[in-house]
Structure 1
Protein backbone atom coordinates (compact mmCIF):
# COMPACT_ATOMS: atom_id res chain seq x y z
CA UNK A 1 0.00 0.00 0.00
CA UNK A 2 1.17 3.53 -0.77
CA UNK A 3 2.39 5.65 2.16
CA UNK A 4 3.40 9.28 2.50
CA UNK A 5 7.08 8.32 2.50
CA UNK A 6 6.80 6.20 -0.65
CA UNK A 7 7.82 8.25 -3.70
CA UNK A 8 8.17 5.29 -6.05
CA UNK A 9 5.91 2.43 -7.13
CA UNK A 10 4.19 0.27 -4.55
CA UNK A 11 5.85 -2.98 -3.54
CA UNK A 12 4.93 -5.62 -6.08
CA UNK A 13 2.67 -8.48 -4.99
CA UNK A 14 2.40 -10.27 -8.35
CA UNK A 15 4.86 -11.48 -11.00
CA UNK A 16 3.32 -9.03 -13.47
CA UNK A 17 3.94 -6.05 -11.20
CA UNK A 18 7.53 -7.20 -10.71
CA UNK A 19 8.01 -7.06 -14.49
CA UNK A 20 6.36 -3.63 -14.65
CA UNK A 21 8.64 -2.32 -11.90
CA UNK A 22 11.68 -3.68 -13.72
CA UNK A 23 10.55 -2.03 -16.96
CA UNK A 24 10.06 1.27 -15.11
CA UNK A 25 13.59 1.14 -13.68
CA UNK A 26 15.00 0.04 -17.06
CA UNK A 27 13.32 2.92 -18.91
CA UNK A 28 14.24 5.50 -16.26
CA UNK A 29 17.90 4.46 -16.52
CA UNK A 30 17.83 5.06 -20.27
CA UNK A 31 16.10 8.44 -19.83
CA UNK A 32 18.65 9.57 -17.23
CA UNK A 33 21.51 8.62 -19.54
CA UNK A 34 19.92 10.55 -22.43
CA UNK A 35 19.37 13.59 -20.19
CA UNK A 36 22.99 13.57 -19.04
CA UNK A 37 24.37 13.26 -22.60
CA UNK A 38 22.09 15.98 -24.01
CA UNK A 39 22.75 18.28 -21.05
CA UNK A 40 26.51 17.84 -21.36
CA UNK A 41 26.39 18.50 -25.11
CA UNK A 42 24.30 21.66 -24.71
CA UNK A 43 26.57 22.93 -21.94
CA UNK A 44 29.64 22.25 -24.08
CA UNK A 45 28.24 24.14 -27.08
CA UNK A 46 26.93 27.09 -25.04
CA UNK A 47 30.00 27.71 -22.90
CA UNK A 48 32.69 27.69 -25.59
CA UNK A 49 33.33 30.71 -27.80
CA UNK A 50 33.08 28.80 -31.05
CA UNK A 51 31.09 25.89 -32.41
CA UNK A 52 32.94 22.81 -33.45
CA UNK A 53 32.51 22.12 -37.14
CA UNK A 54 32.19 18.39 -36.44
CA UNK A 55 29.38 18.96 -33.93
CA UNK A 56 27.17 20.82 -36.42
CA UNK A 57 27.34 18.81 -39.62
CA UNK A 58 29.13 15.92 -41.21
CA UNK A 59 28.42 12.35 -42.20
CA UNK A 60 29.69 10.87 -38.94
CA UNK A 61 27.67 13.05 -36.57
CA UNK A 62 24.50 12.67 -38.68
CA UNK A 63 24.93 8.89 -38.66
CA UNK A 64 25.37 8.91 -34.88
CA UNK A 65 22.30 11.02 -34.10
CA UNK A 66 20.23 8.89 -36.49
CA UNK A 67 21.34 5.48 -35.20
CA UNK A 68 21.42 6.20 -31.46
CA UNK A 69 17.68 7.05 -31.15
CA UNK A 70 16.81 3.96 -33.20
CA UNK A 71 18.92 1.70 -30.97
CA UNK A 72 17.46 3.35 -27.85
CA UNK A 73 13.91 2.69 -29.06
CA UNK A 74 14.75 -0.97 -29.64
CA UNK A 75 15.94 -1.35 -26.03
CA UNK A 76 12.66 0.20 -24.85
CA UNK A 77 10.31 -1.49 -27.31
CA UNK A 78 11.41 -5.11 -26.81
CA UNK A 79 10.56 -5.40 -23.07
CA UNK A 80 7.48 -3.25 -23.66
CA UNK A 81 6.09 -5.66 -26.27
CA UNK A 82 6.78 -8.58 -23.95
CA UNK A 83 4.82 -6.89 -21.17
CA UNK A 84 1.90 -6.22 -23.52
CA UNK A 85 1.79 -9.92 -24.31
CA UNK A 86 1.85 -10.87 -20.61
CA UNK A 87 -0.95 -8.40 -19.85
CA UNK A 88 -3.24 -10.11 -22.39
CA UNK A 89 -2.27 -13.71 -21.62
CA UNK A 90 -5.24 -15.52 -20.08
CA UNK A 91 -4.66 -19.14 -21.10
CA UNK A 92 -4.02 -20.69 -17.67
CA UNK A 93 -6.61 -19.00 -15.49
CA UNK A 94 -8.11 -21.05 -12.66
CA UNK A 95 -10.64 -18.64 -11.16
CA UNK A 96 -12.79 -16.02 -12.87
CA UNK A 97 -14.45 -13.13 -11.09
CA UNK A 98 -16.64 -10.44 -12.60
CA UNK A 99 -16.67 -6.90 -11.26
CA UNK A 100 -19.24 -4.30 -12.27
CA UNK A 101 -18.68 -0.61 -11.64
CA UNK A 102 -21.69 1.33 -10.44
CA UNK A 103 -22.32 4.85 -9.15
CA UNK A 104 -20.59 4.62 -6.77
CA UNK A 105 -19.69 1.13 -5.59
CA UNK A 106 -18.53 -2.21 -6.98
CA UNK A 107 -20.47 -5.43 -7.52
CA UNK A 108 -18.70 -8.80 -7.66
CA UNK A 109 -19.69 -12.15 -9.09
CA UNK A 110 -17.73 -15.39 -8.77
CA UNK A 111 -18.57 -16.92 -12.13
CA UNK A 112 -17.10 -20.35 -11.34
CA UNK A 113 -19.45 -20.89 -8.39
CA UNK A 114 -23.19 -20.73 -7.77
CA UNK A 115 -24.94 -17.73 -6.24
CA UNK A 116 -21.90 -15.83 -5.02
CA UNK A 117 -22.64 -12.17 -5.60
CA UNK A 118 -22.11 -9.18 -3.35
CA UNK A 119 -21.62 -5.42 -3.38
CA UNK A 120 -18.79 -3.50 -1.76
CA UNK A 121 -19.23 -0.01 -0.35
CA UNK A 122 -16.64 2.23 1.24
CA UNK A 123 -16.63 1.91 5.03
CA UNK A 124 -17.95 5.07 6.65
CA UNK A 125 -15.88 6.80 9.29
CA UNK A 126 -18.47 6.03 11.96
CA UNK A 127 -18.05 2.27 11.38
CA UNK A 128 -14.27 2.19 11.11
CA UNK A 129 -12.00 0.45 13.59
CA UNK A 130 -8.62 1.76 14.75
CA UNK A 131 -6.55 -0.41 12.39
CA UNK A 132 -8.65 0.28 9.28
CA UNK A 133 -7.72 2.72 6.53
CA UNK A 134 -9.83 5.80 5.93
CA UNK A 135 -11.34 6.06 2.41
CA UNK A 136 -9.75 2.71 1.45
CA UNK A 137 -11.56 -0.01 3.44
CA UNK A 138 -14.82 -1.59 2.33
CA UNK A 139 -17.60 -3.48 4.07
CA UNK A 140 -17.13 -6.67 1.97
CA UNK A 141 -13.59 -7.54 0.99
CA UNK A 142 -12.95 -9.60 -2.13
CA UNK A 143 -11.30 -12.86 -1.04
CA UNK A 144 -8.91 -14.53 -3.50
CA UNK A 145 -6.37 -17.35 -3.13
CA UNK A 146 -2.66 -16.73 -3.51
CA UNK A 147 -0.49 -18.45 -6.12
CA UNK A 148 -3.50 -18.85 -8.40
CA UNK A 149 -3.99 -17.39 -11.87
CA UNK A 150 -7.09 -15.19 -11.66
CA UNK A 151 -9.05 -13.66 -14.51
CA UNK A 152 -11.06 -10.49 -13.91
CA UNK A 153 -13.94 -9.51 -16.19
CA UNK A 154 -15.03 -5.90 -15.85
CA UNK A 155 -18.05 -3.96 -17.01
CA UNK A 156 -20.16 -1.02 -15.85
CA UNK A 157 -23.85 -0.34 -15.46
CA UNK A 158 -23.83 3.43 -15.96
CA UNK A 159 -20.64 5.35 -16.80
CA UNK A 160 -16.95 4.59 -17.32
CA UNK A 161 -15.05 3.20 -14.33
CA UNK A 162 -11.60 1.65 -13.92
CA UNK A 163 -10.77 -1.31 -11.66
CA UNK A 164 -7.22 -0.67 -10.46
CA UNK A 165 -4.93 -2.26 -7.88
CA UNK A 166 -1.38 -0.84 -8.20
CA UNK A 167 0.39 -3.51 -6.11
CA UNK A 168 -0.91 -6.23 -8.44
CA UNK A 169 -0.14 -4.35 -11.66
CA UNK A 170 -3.76 -4.53 -12.81
CA UNK A 171 -5.84 -1.70 -14.32
CA UNK A 172 -8.91 -2.50 -16.39
CA UNK A 173 -11.44 -0.04 -17.77
CA UNK A 174 -15.07 -0.88 -16.97
CA UNK A 175 -17.34 0.27 -19.80
CA UNK A 176 -21.13 -0.10 -20.12
CA UNK A 177 -22.14 -2.79 -22.60
CA UNK A 178 -18.67 -4.28 -22.89
CA UNK A 179 -16.57 -6.86 -21.05
CA UNK A 180 -12.86 -6.25 -20.59
CA UNK A 181 -10.56 -8.76 -19.01
CA UNK A 182 -7.24 -8.94 -17.20
CA UNK A 183 -5.26 -11.57 -15.34
CA UNK A 184 -2.98 -11.56 -12.32
CA UNK A 185 -1.45 -13.87 -9.73
CA UNK A 186 -0.99 -12.85 -6.10
CA UNK A 187 2.27 -14.27 -4.77
CA UNK A 188 1.81 -13.55 -1.05
CA UNK A 189 -1.04 -13.16 1.46
CA UNK A 190 -2.19 -9.77 2.59
CA UNK A 191 -4.52 -6.85 1.90
CA UNK A 192 -4.22 -4.94 -1.38
CA UNK A 193 -5.98 -1.65 -1.89
CA UNK A 194 -7.11 0.09 -5.03
CA UNK A 195 -9.58 2.68 -6.24
CA UNK A 196 -11.55 3.62 -9.32
CA UNK A 197 -9.07 5.34 -11.64
CA UNK A 198 -11.60 6.87 -14.01
CA UNK A 199 -13.32 10.17 -13.22
CA UNK A 200 -16.83 8.74 -13.05
CA UNK A 201 -18.78 11.38 -11.15
CA UNK A 202 -19.20 13.24 -7.88
CA UNK A 203 -18.29 10.25 -5.68
CA UNK A 204 -15.47 9.00 -7.89
CA UNK A 205 -12.99 9.11 -5.00
CA UNK A 206 -15.23 6.94 -2.80
CA UNK A 207 -15.05 3.68 -4.76
CA UNK A 208 -12.24 1.76 -3.04
CA UNK A 209 -11.23 -1.81 -3.87
CA UNK A 210 -9.88 -4.25 -1.29
CA UNK A 211 -8.46 -7.65 -2.22
CA UNK A 212 -7.68 -10.04 0.63
CA UNK A 213 -5.25 -12.75 -0.43
CA UNK A 214 -5.41 -15.97 1.57
CA UNK A 215 -4.24 -19.56 1.32
CA UNK A 216 -6.32 -21.92 -0.87
CA UNK A 217 -7.63 -23.71 2.23
CA UNK A 218 -8.96 -20.50 3.77
CA UNK A 219 -10.42 -19.51 0.42
CA UNK A 220 -12.35 -22.80 0.23
CA UNK A 221 -13.68 -22.26 3.76
CA UNK A 222 -14.82 -18.77 2.77
CA UNK A 223 -16.56 -20.20 -0.29
CA UNK A 224 -18.39 -22.77 1.81
CA UNK A 225 -19.78 -19.96 3.96
CA UNK A 226 -20.85 -17.89 0.96
CA UNK A 227 -22.60 -20.66 -1.00
Structure 2
Protein backbone atom coordinates (compact mmCIF):
# COMPACT_ATOMS: atom_id res chain seq x y z
CA UNK A 1 0.00 0.00 0.00
CA UNK A 2 2.06 2.87 -1.33
CA UNK A 3 -0.11 5.51 0.33
CA UNK A 4 1.25 4.31 3.69
CA UNK A 5 4.88 4.78 2.70
CA UNK A 6 5.53 7.91 4.79
CA UNK A 7 3.75 6.40 7.80
CA UNK A 8 5.85 3.25 7.48
CA UNK A 9 9.09 5.24 7.33
CA UNK A 10 8.15 7.12 10.49
CA UNK A 11 7.39 3.89 12.35
CA UNK A 12 10.60 2.18 11.29
CA UNK A 13 12.64 5.23 12.28
CA UNK A 14 11.11 5.31 15.79
CA UNK A 15 11.94 1.65 16.48
CA UNK A 16 8.95 1.20 18.77
CA UNK A 17 7.31 -2.17 19.61
CA UNK A 18 5.96 -3.44 16.29
CA UNK A 19 2.29 -4.09 17.04
CA UNK A 20 1.69 -0.74 18.76
CA UNK A 21 3.69 1.10 16.12
CA UNK A 22 1.71 -0.39 13.23
CA UNK A 23 -1.54 0.41 15.04
CA UNK A 24 -0.34 3.99 15.61
CA UNK A 25 0.57 4.44 11.95
CA UNK A 26 -2.68 2.99 10.63
CA UNK A 27 -4.71 4.98 13.15
CA UNK A 28 -2.98 8.17 12.05
CA UNK A 29 -3.65 7.37 8.39
CA UNK A 30 -7.34 6.70 9.11
CA UNK A 31 -7.86 9.79 11.26
CA UNK A 32 -6.20 12.03 8.67
CA UNK A 33 -8.30 10.60 5.86
CA UNK A 34 -5.41 8.93 4.01
CA UNK A 35 -7.26 5.65 4.50
CA UNK A 36 -10.98 6.26 3.97
CA UNK A 37 -14.10 4.50 5.17
CA UNK A 38 -14.71 1.20 3.42
CA UNK A 39 -11.14 0.91 2.16
CA UNK A 40 -9.74 -2.64 2.43
CA UNK A 41 -6.67 -3.22 4.60
CA UNK A 42 -4.70 -6.10 3.07
CA UNK A 43 -2.57 -7.74 5.72
CA UNK A 44 0.06 -8.99 3.28
CA UNK A 45 0.55 -5.57 1.67
CA UNK A 46 0.73 -3.79 5.03
CA UNK A 47 3.17 -6.37 6.39
CA UNK A 48 5.44 -5.84 3.37
CA UNK A 49 5.18 -2.05 3.64
CA UNK A 50 6.18 -2.04 7.31
CA UNK A 51 8.63 -4.95 7.11
CA UNK A 52 6.79 -7.01 9.73
CA UNK A 53 4.91 -10.33 9.83
CA UNK A 54 1.24 -10.66 8.97
CA UNK A 55 0.68 -11.84 12.55
CA UNK A 56 1.91 -8.46 13.78
CA UNK A 57 -0.39 -6.66 11.34
CA UNK A 58 -3.32 -8.81 12.45
CA UNK A 59 -2.69 -7.88 16.10
CA UNK A 60 -2.50 -4.19 15.17
CA UNK A 61 -5.79 -4.43 13.28
CA UNK A 62 -7.43 -6.00 16.35
CA UNK A 63 -6.37 -2.96 18.40
CA UNK A 64 -8.00 -0.67 15.84
CA UNK A 65 -11.09 -2.87 15.70
CA UNK A 66 -11.44 -2.44 19.47
CA UNK A 67 -11.23 1.34 18.98
CA UNK A 68 -13.98 1.25 16.36
CA UNK A 69 -11.77 2.37 13.47
CA UNK A 70 -11.49 -0.97 11.66
CA UNK A 71 -13.99 -3.72 10.92
CA UNK A 72 -12.67 -7.26 10.62
CA UNK A 73 -15.10 -9.66 8.95
CA UNK A 74 -14.75 -13.32 8.01
CA UNK A 75 -13.80 -13.80 4.34
CA UNK A 76 -13.98 -10.08 3.60
CA UNK A 77 -10.96 -9.26 5.77
CA UNK A 78 -10.29 -5.89 7.39
CA UNK A 79 -11.68 -2.59 6.15
CA UNK A 80 -11.68 0.95 7.49
CA UNK A 81 -14.93 1.33 9.41
CA UNK A 82 -17.53 3.68 7.95
CA UNK A 83 -19.97 5.35 10.31
CA UNK A 84 -23.61 5.70 9.29
CA UNK A 85 -25.76 8.67 10.37
CA UNK A 86 -27.42 6.34 12.89
CA UNK A 87 -24.00 5.41 14.29
CA UNK A 88 -23.17 9.09 14.69
CA UNK A 89 -26.49 9.78 16.43
CA UNK A 90 -25.81 6.99 18.93
CA UNK A 91 -22.22 8.12 19.56
CA UNK A 92 -23.39 11.71 19.98
CA UNK A 93 -25.95 10.72 22.60
CA UNK A 94 -23.36 8.68 24.49
CA UNK A 95 -20.81 11.51 24.35
CA UNK A 96 -23.32 14.04 25.65
CA UNK A 97 -24.33 11.79 28.53
CA UNK A 98 -20.76 10.87 29.49
CA UNK A 99 -19.30 14.37 29.19
CA UNK A 100 -22.21 15.76 31.19
CA UNK A 101 -21.58 13.26 34.00
CA UNK A 102 -17.83 13.99 33.95
CA UNK A 103 -18.16 17.75 34.11
CA UNK A 104 -20.71 17.42 36.93
CA UNK A 105 -18.33 15.20 38.89
CA UNK A 106 -15.37 17.51 38.24
CA UNK A 107 -17.10 20.82 39.00
CA UNK A 108 -16.54 20.89 42.80
CA UNK A 109 -12.79 20.44 42.25
CA UNK A 110 -12.32 23.02 39.49
CA UNK A 111 -10.39 26.14 40.47
CA UNK A 112 -9.07 29.36 38.98
CA UNK A 113 -6.03 27.60 37.52
CA UNK A 114 -8.22 25.12 35.65
CA UNK A 115 -10.33 27.94 34.25
CA UNK A 116 -7.23 29.85 33.16
CA UNK A 117 -5.89 26.74 31.38
CA UNK A 118 -9.22 26.39 29.57
CA UNK A 119 -9.15 30.09 28.65
CA UNK A 120 -5.57 29.78 27.37
CA UNK A 121 -6.65 26.83 25.22
CA UNK A 122 -9.44 28.90 23.71
CA UNK A 123 -6.86 31.58 22.83
CA UNK A 124 -4.61 28.95 21.23
CA UNK A 125 -7.53 27.66 19.20
CA UNK A 126 -8.14 31.19 17.95
CA UNK A 127 -4.57 31.50 16.75
CA UNK A 128 -4.14 28.29 14.77
CA UNK A 129 -5.53 26.95 11.54
CA UNK A 130 -3.51 23.71 11.60
CA UNK A 131 -6.01 20.85 11.68
CA UNK A 132 -3.87 18.62 13.92
CA UNK A 133 -3.54 21.42 16.47
CA UNK A 134 -7.25 22.25 16.27
CA UNK A 135 -8.21 18.65 17.01
CA UNK A 136 -5.68 18.31 19.85
CA UNK A 137 -6.56 21.65 21.46
CA UNK A 138 -10.27 20.88 21.26
CA UNK A 139 -9.62 17.74 23.32
CA UNK A 140 -7.44 19.70 25.76
CA UNK A 141 -10.20 22.28 26.31
CA UNK A 142 -12.79 19.69 27.26
CA UNK A 143 -10.35 17.79 29.49
CA UNK A 144 -9.47 21.02 31.33
CA UNK A 145 -13.05 21.01 32.58
CA UNK A 146 -13.64 17.33 33.34
CA UNK A 147 -10.12 16.08 34.02
CA UNK A 148 -10.70 16.23 37.77
CA UNK A 149 -13.74 13.97 37.65
CA UNK A 150 -11.46 11.06 38.60
CA UNK A 151 -13.42 8.62 36.47
CA UNK A 152 -10.81 6.89 34.31
CA UNK A 153 -13.15 4.24 32.89
CA UNK A 154 -15.70 6.80 31.73
CA UNK A 155 -12.91 8.93 30.27
CA UNK A 156 -11.47 5.92 28.41
CA UNK A 157 -14.86 5.13 26.86
CA UNK A 158 -15.28 8.78 25.89
CA UNK A 159 -11.85 8.82 24.24
CA UNK A 160 -12.82 5.81 22.12
CA UNK A 161 -16.03 7.49 21.02
CA UNK A 162 -14.17 10.69 20.14
CA UNK A 163 -11.57 8.81 18.09
CA UNK A 164 -14.28 7.10 16.04
CA UNK A 165 -15.61 10.54 15.05
CA UNK A 166 -12.26 12.23 14.46
CA UNK A 167 -12.03 11.73 10.66
CA UNK A 168 -15.34 13.58 10.34
CA UNK A 169 -14.43 16.21 12.95
CA UNK A 170 -11.40 17.04 10.81
CA UNK A 171 -13.68 17.73 7.86
CA UNK A 172 -15.90 19.92 10.05
CA UNK A 173 -13.00 22.01 11.35
CA UNK A 174 -12.16 22.79 7.72
CA UNK A 175 -15.70 24.03 7.07
CA UNK A 176 -16.24 27.77 6.89
CA UNK A 177 -17.82 29.01 10.10
CA UNK A 178 -17.50 25.82 12.16
CA UNK A 179 -14.49 27.05 14.14
CA UNK A 180 -16.25 30.27 15.15
CA UNK A 181 -19.40 28.40 16.14
CA UNK A 182 -17.39 25.93 18.23
CA UNK A 183 -15.35 28.69 19.87
CA UNK A 184 -18.50 30.60 20.85
CA UNK A 185 -19.79 27.44 22.50
CA UNK A 186 -16.48 26.88 24.32
CA UNK A 187 -16.60 30.39 25.76
CA UNK A 188 -20.17 29.85 26.99
CA UNK A 189 -19.27 26.49 28.55
CA UNK A 190 -16.32 28.04 30.37
CA UNK A 191 -18.45 30.95 31.58
CA UNK A 192 -21.03 28.55 33.06
CA UNK A 193 -18.28 26.52 34.72
CA UNK A 194 -16.78 29.63 36.31
CA UNK A 195 -20.22 30.48 37.72
CA UNK A 196 -20.59 26.89 39.01
CA UNK A 197 -23.91 26.51 37.21
CA UNK A 198 -23.86 22.74 37.03
CA UNK A 199 -27.33 22.11 35.58
CA UNK A 200 -26.91 24.86 33.01
CA UNK A 201 -23.49 23.69 31.83
CA UNK A 202 -24.69 20.07 31.53
CA UNK A 203 -27.60 21.24 29.38
CA UNK A 204 -25.49 23.54 27.20
CA UNK A 205 -22.75 20.93 26.80
CA UNK A 206 -25.35 18.52 25.43
CA UNK A 207 -26.54 21.19 22.99
CA UNK A 208 -22.92 21.77 21.90
CA UNK A 209 -22.23 18.07 21.35
CA UNK A 210 -25.55 17.42 19.62
CA UNK A 211 -24.96 20.37 17.30
CA UNK A 212 -21.65 18.81 16.21
CA UNK A 213 -23.33 15.42 15.83
CA UNK A 214 -25.97 16.85 13.50
CA UNK A 215 -23.25 18.53 11.44
CA UNK A 216 -21.50 15.18 11.02
CA UNK A 217 -24.75 13.41 10.13
CA UNK A 218 -25.44 16.04 7.46
CA UNK A 219 -21.89 15.65 6.19
CA UNK A 220 -22.26 11.87 5.87
CA UNK A 221 -25.56 12.24 4.02
CA UNK A 222 -23.98 14.77 1.67
CA UNK A 223 -21.01 12.47 0.98
CA UNK A 224 -23.38 9.57 0.28
CA UNK A 225 -25.42 11.71 -2.13
CA UNK A 226 -22.32 12.87 -4.03
CA UNK A 227 -20.62 9.47 -4.20
> Which category describes the TM-score, using the shorter chain as reference length?
under 0.3
Q: Which has the larger strand fraction?
A: 1
Larger CA Rg, structure 1 vs 2 = 1
Q: Which has the larger helix fraction?
A: 2
Report the TM-score when normalising by structure 2.
Answer: 0.26
